[in-house]
């Protein structure tokens, strides 16, 4: 019985010894981190990396003073000891299992941090982590923590990553950023009472015409948002309607447009201001239109309608447009349909136009 207990205790102690050796931390050291364009120096950056590495508690991090003594004894320049060969050489002199090196550089409006984990005995780069961050230099320590976690396969806090990571912006170029400013032409159809007034004879204030008129104009547009295939635009469309009748009906529309460049589809809506001749009058029992003469009270509801005998007045309404752009090389042909709802009769129109994108010139 006593022998059995001795065997069990021996096995238990042997197991603990094996686990202890198996869990022994590997040593790691770093000389310095190369920095360019950021406020923190290479030495301070190395101290930050060393601090975050010690917090992780996965390696035995060699003391920075021991590393400094080695640098002095072997005439190593910490400002140039970033390459694989020199770092491995330094790791051998320090008798370190691993070495850590890397860089932190400001590039445009982002900060790029690169960390490399080097296996000294195998003389190879074990893993590299490259992270792009927004240029928020007061959060460099957090950036170092995120990059180290990525290097050592430690999960990062998604909230911190979302706040600091610089995600790629979609590429915009002449194919994904389309400007369709240019001439427009088409036709409009007047519905309801407005269409009836256009049909009326001139002696009762009509125009003696079909409720269809030609349209000629020009579209101006400017982009205020671009996300690759998607554009948001401010569009201004100035037109003259009814040229064939000799009675001009000018209008100007201000649209907030949304365009999908790849498919060519777009949608827009906004206010439109039209100027036309109107007058106050009433419809009698027979449905005939009559102007009000002076201060007479006709005994019928007084309304304002289109009238060729009236005065020019502006009116405001809404316009909704849907369109598609057809492309042939550098030629764009936009085609649109639109609807403007009005109490006295809506307006439906179709337009088309064209413009060309200037072919980019190569620098000579």
- Alpha-carbon distance 140 to 147, whole Å? 10
pLDDT for position 66: 81
Contact criterion met (CB below 8 Å) for 113 and 102: yes
- What does the domain layout of the chain look like in residue ranges? 25-164, 182-356
Please state, for a pLDDT cut of 90, what percent of the chain lies above it.
Answer: 35
Beta strands in 13-80 (DSSP E): 27-29, 34-36, 60-61
Name the pTM for this structure.
Answer: 0.52
The helix (run of H) or strand (run of E) holding residue 49 is helix 42-56
Residue 243 predicted with pLDDT over 70 = yes
Q: Could you tell me which residues come within 8 angstroms of residue 271 by beta carbon, excluding any fewer than 6 positions away?
A: 253, 254, 316, 317, 318, 319
What's the burial of 180, exposed, middle or buried (CB within 10 Å: 0-12/13-18/19+)?
A: buried
Contact criterion met (CB below 8 Å) for 331 and 354: yes
Residue 359 predicted with pLDDT over 60 = no
Centroid of chain to Cα 136: 20
- Alpha-carbon distance 324 to 336, whole Å? 7
Segment among 46-55, 57-66, 171-180, 205-214 with least mean pLDDT: 171-180
pLDDT for position 5: 55
Task: Label residue 11 by pLDDT band (50, 70, 90).
Answer: low
Beta strands in the chain (DSSP E): 27-29, 34-36, 60-61, 98-107, 110-119, 124-134, 182-190, 212-227, 230-241, 249-260, 265-283, 289-291, 303-306, 311-328, 331-340, 347-353, 355-356
- Alpha-carbon distance 54 to 186, whole Å? 73
- Alpha-carbon distance 108 to 126, whole Å? 29
Q: What integer is the mean pLDDT of 146-156?
A: 92
**pLDDT, tens digit, for every residue of 333-352?**
999 999 999 888 899 999 99
Largest CA distance in the chain: 130
Higher pLDDT, 287 or 123: 123
Task: Label residue 362 by pLDDT band (50, 70, 90).
Answer: very low
- Cα angle 209, 211, 212; round to 5: 100
Task: Calculate the average pLDDT of the chain.
Answer: 83
pLDDT for position 350: 96
Higher pLDDT, 256 or 62: 256
pLDDT for position 143: 92
- Alpha-carbon distance 28 to 95, whole Å? 9
Contact criterion met (CB below 8 Å) for 67 and 74: no
Give residue for tokens 């007084």: 302
Task: Label residue 2 by pLDDT band (50, 70, 90).
Answer: low
**pLDDT, tens digit, for every residue of 188-222?**
999 988 888 888 888 888 888 888 989 999 999 99
Segment among 12-26, 111-125, 135-149, 228-242 with least mean pLDDT: 12-26
- Alpha-carbon distance 243 to 308, whole Å? 15
pLDDT for position 352: 93
Contact criterion met (CB below 8 Å) for 298 and 350: no
- Alpha-carbon distance 317 to 347, whole Å? 10
**pLDDT, tens digit, for every residue of 268-315?**
999 999 988 888 888 888 888 888 876 666 778 888 888 888 888 898
Task: Label residue 246 by pLDDT band (50, 70, 90).
Answer: confident
Minimal CA–CA distance to 242: which of 215, 204, 221?
215
Q: What are phi and psi of 66, to 5 degrees?
A: -65, -40
- Alpha-carbon distance 306 to 317, whole Å? 15
For the domain bounded by 182-356, which CATH number is listed?
Answer: 2.40.160
For the domain bounded by 25-164, which CATH number is listed?
Answer: 3.40.50.10610
For the ranges 51-55, 292-296, 354-358, the maximum mean pLDDT occurs at 51-55
- Alpha-carbon distance 336 to 205, whole Å? 32
- Alpha-carbon distance 356 to 334, whole Å? 11
Task: Label residue 364 by pLDDT band (50, 70, 90).
Answer: very low
Q: At what angle do helices 84-94 and 64-73 cross, to 10 degrees?
A: 110
């Amino acid at each position: 019985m006593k022998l059995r207990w001795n065997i069990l205790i021996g096995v238990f102690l042997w197991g603990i010894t094996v686990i202890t050796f198996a869990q022994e931390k590997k040593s790691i050291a770093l000389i310095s981190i190369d920095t360019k364009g950021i406020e923190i120096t290479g030495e301070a950056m190395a101290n930050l990396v060393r601090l975050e590495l010690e917090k992780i508690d996965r390696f035995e991090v060699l003391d920075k003073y021991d590393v400094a003594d080695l640098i002095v004894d072997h005439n190593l320049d910490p400002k140039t000891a970033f390459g694989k060969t020199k770092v491995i050489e330094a790791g051998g002199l320090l008798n370190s299992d691993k070495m850590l090196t890397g860089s932190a550089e400001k590039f445009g409006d982002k900060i790029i941090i690169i960390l490399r984990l080097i296996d000294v005995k195998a003389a190879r780069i074990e893993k590299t982590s490259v992270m792009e961050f927004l240029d928020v230099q007061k959060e460099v320590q957090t950036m170092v923590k995120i990059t180290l976690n990525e290097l050592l396969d430690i999960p990062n806090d998604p909230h911190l990553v979302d706040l600091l990571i610089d995600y790629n912006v979609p590429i915009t170029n002449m194919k994904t950023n389309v400007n369709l400013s240019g001439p427009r032409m088409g036709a409009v159809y007047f519905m309801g009472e407005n269409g009836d007034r256009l049909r009326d004879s001139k002696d009762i204030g009509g125009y003696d015409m079909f409720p269809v008129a030609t349209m000629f104009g020009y579209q101006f547009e400017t982009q205020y948002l671009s996300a690759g295939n998607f554009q948001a635009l401010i569009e201004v469309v100035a037109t003259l309607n009814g040229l064939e009748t000799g009675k001009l009906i000018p209008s100007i529309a201000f649209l907030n447009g949304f365009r999908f460049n790849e498919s060519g589809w777009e949608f827009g809506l906004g206010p439109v201001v039209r100027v036309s001749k109107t007058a106050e009058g009433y419809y009698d029992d027979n449905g005939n239109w009559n102007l009000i003469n002076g201060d007479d009270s006709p005994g019928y509801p007084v309304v304002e309608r289109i009238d060729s005998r009236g005065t020019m007045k502006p009116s405001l309404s809404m316009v909704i447009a849907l369109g598609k752009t057809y492309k042939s090389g550098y030629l764009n042909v936009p085609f649109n349909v639109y609807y403007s709802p009005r109490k006295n009769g809506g307006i439906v129109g179709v337009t088309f136009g064209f413009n060309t994108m200037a072919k980019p010139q190569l620098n000579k």
